[in-house]
Amino acid sequence: MTIHCPNCGSPHVISRNVGRKVGGTTGAAAGAASGAAGALSGAKAGALVGAMVGPAGITIGGLSGAVFGGLLGGTTFGVAGAKLGHEIDQKMLDNYACCACECTFRPHAE
């Protein structure tokens, strides 16, 4: 389905996706912070597993557990934020912009 500008009728329309970009960025930042807070438990779990190998295993296991906690939190929250932002784009924001007349608009629900 081609979207046309309601102002000039041009088919040269792009989606701006502002909500998705902001939601994804905010979610990733919040997830990384949450993951960093949870990194302590990840580090403890990694150190516990690494203890089977020895002192070097404790260090490597603790560090990898902390990094994995931060990455997992950032990714999970980033995806959730992007999905929420996508819904906001579609239902609340003027997500489309006409390249011909620079009009921003939201398509009518059918």
58 in any annotated domain: no
What is the chain's pLDDT, residue by residue, as a tens digit (110 residues)? 689 999 999 999 999 999 999 999 999 999 888 877 777 776 777 777 777 777 887 788 778 877 887 788 888 899 999 999 999 998 999 999 999 999 999 877 54
Return the SS3 of 14.
strand
* Structural domain contains residue 110: no
Asked if residue 20 belongs to a domain, the reply is yes
Tell me which residue of 93, 72, 101, 88 sits closest to 12, measured CA to CA.
Answer: 101
The total number of structural domains that make up the chain: 1
Radius of gyration of the chain from its Cα atoms, rounded to whole angstroms: 22
Burial class for 91, CB neighbours closer than 10 Å (0-12, 13-18, 19+): exposed
In a domain, 72, yes or no: yes
Q: Which domain holds residue 33?
A: 13-52+63-105
Domain-embedded: residue 3:
no
* pTM, entire model: 0.69
Tally of helices (H runs) and strands (E runs) in the chain:
2, 3
